[in-house]
Chain A
Amino acid sequence: MTAPTAEPLISTSQLGHAYGDVVALHHLDFVVPAGRVGLVGANGAGKSTLIKVLLGILDPTEGTARVLGIDVGEDPITVRSKVGYMPEESCLPLAQTAADFTVYAAELAGIPTKAARQRASDVLTLVGLHEERFRYIGEFSTGMKQRAMLAQAIVHDPELVFLDEPTAGLDPAGREDMLSLISRLGEFGINVLVSSHVLTDIESTCDWVVMLDGGRVLRTGPLTGITGSDAVDVELLGDNDHDGVIAALRTRGAEVEVRGGVIRVTANDDAFDIIRDALAEAGAGMRRLSQSETSLEDIFLAAGDNE
């Protein structure tokens, strides 16, 4: 559940940014709705630059960006009063306790001190730092620091939170915990923009995706629309006649692609019916039959090849 909003969460028009002669963002045009949005791209694709432009830290060298319906260039202060930000690099003062810093982070967003203390306690509990909240941040592990960074990003109840590589440096268990927390943010009514070069992180947490490559938008849309497919994957029993099944499928007009032990079938008519008939004709049995899903990685690689 995310906060209902008539305006798109983020929209850009011909947005560009350059560091001197190095162009980091090229004419970005995209609109994303409320929800959990993944910003995907390789290192150096422009993800962090885009987030900094959306926060008003960096000025666009061309074009405009609107966040929550507000023009960032015209009114960055109003945008900042509605968002949270978890940067890729550490943003924590090592000489403060997690509790003190989280209270301060809330006060910086204008939350009165008493409410800030209560919220900091609640949020540190939410991210799993309740027991460690009075420890100095300098004594924290990488995973605990990441949690503290998430806490400061959401303690003031932002409408939108930018998370830049939130799983960087985490071990597998810590990564799972962080992804679980990010997934829950949507349930709390907080819109999320997650930047990551780990595509599986985006697949597991987001419902909309913006793919960047070399500062350009490669593709954008709902995750299901991008990764969904009309194809059907069928896995045969080991000793069956693969070639016979493939031939039977092709005679029925299906496109067939073999990926390891899986046959991917794409057809204009109902693929399930065609597979049933082909298996019957070849006398083969199957282990698994499912709607095919293309991973973000496949799409990313395919789009890169097309470029």
Chain B
Amino acid sequence: MTSDQGVVFDLGYQPHEGDRLGRRGAIFATIRDGLRRILGIRRKARKKVMPWLLFGIALLPVVAVVGISFFVDDIFSGGVDNPFAGHPNIFTITAPMFFIFSALAGPELLIPDRVEGVMSVYASRPMRVSDYLGARAAALAIAAGGFLVVPQFILYVGLASLHPDGLFSGLVDNASDIPKFLLASLFYLLTYGAPAFLVGLFAKRLGPAWGIYLAFMWLSAIFAVVITEATSGIGRYAALIALSIHPDIIMDWIFGRTTVREGITGADFGPMWSVGIILGVAVITWIIGIRKYRSLL
């Protein structure tokens, strides 16, 4: 027997009887949400343009050159004048892209949650302030892996493939490069990411936050050069505020090369100063973040 009338079933509300992942689940969900947000995934199309454009600019040259290297033997020769001669030079392409990406991503990770009141949702979930901020930082770190580490790894494999004794020998011989470019990437992440977070902790709108970050990073570098060249003695310490220069100095140090950089090199500071300043900024940002968010979460 059939009926020509439909039946509406009200399923009501079903209790959840499966697993609950607790804090661990909340942290991973927050990392995943952060990544989606800064890459524009499951967001409107205009949110995807900048991150993927920057990622493309960071990645494509390396992919293209490694591809060409299979046909042109000496593409990786030529020392520092060749932008593809080695891992340090790849950072000159990828780090500026990550710098701009950080300007966009740092505020994007923090401001909307606060301004749109979403912190109230986190406040009713099994999370601590450190879980939330740590998960947001982790999302930026994973994105940094895409911008900074993936191109280096492609180059590493590309260089290894050209090894006279074959790919495997090349991978083994060049394995010492891996910790070097990982460490350098970490310092680029901290240098660009921490100030972007710091701006995101206080700004209420994305546009001004991007502007403040970019202006600070660029103007501090210019200011450092001008002050250092115009003064002597204690004035040389002004060179240290040029945050954007520090990871380049550390990267040179890690890869054992010397590059003259305006202002800060002339001020004759060693790389440990740069390490200290970058770590200091990161730690201060973390402490400020925890204190500020304690009343929200």
Contact = CB atoms under 8 A, between A and B. Distances in A.
B252 to A, nearest CB: 40
Given A77-B128, A92-B117, A156 B112 contact: no
Contacts of B30: 108
Q: Which of A89, A96, A100, A184 has the most CB of B within 10 A?
A: A96
Interface string B28-54: 111011000000001110010000000
B26 A107 contact: yes
Interface in B31-85: 32-33, 42-44, 47
Contacts of B128: 77
Interface size class of B (residues with CB under 8 A): 35 or more
Contacts of A105: 121, 125
A307 B13 CA distance: 43
Contact of B11 (A78, A85, A122): A122
Interface size class of A (residues with CB under 8 A): 35 or more
B198 to A, nearest CB: 22
A107 B118 contact: no
Interface in B102-148: 112-113, 116-128
Given A80-B127, A109-B20, A109-B125, A91 B120 contact: yes
Contacts of B118: 91-93
Q: Which of A95, A96, A108, A119 has the most CB of B within 10 A?
A: A108
Given A93-B113, A122-B13, A188-B13, A112 B19 contact: yes
Contact of B124 (A55, A58, A111): A55
A80 B116 contact: no
A159 B295 CA distance: 25
A84 interface: yes
A290 to B, nearest CB: 34
Interface in A95-131: 95-97, 100, 104-105, 107-112, 115, 119, 122-123, 125-126
B43 A57 contact: no
B226 interface: no
B166 interface: no
B256 interface: no
A65 B123 CA distance: 17
Closest 6 CB pairs of A and B: A85-B124, A107-B29, A110-B25, A188-B13, A157-B16, A81-B126
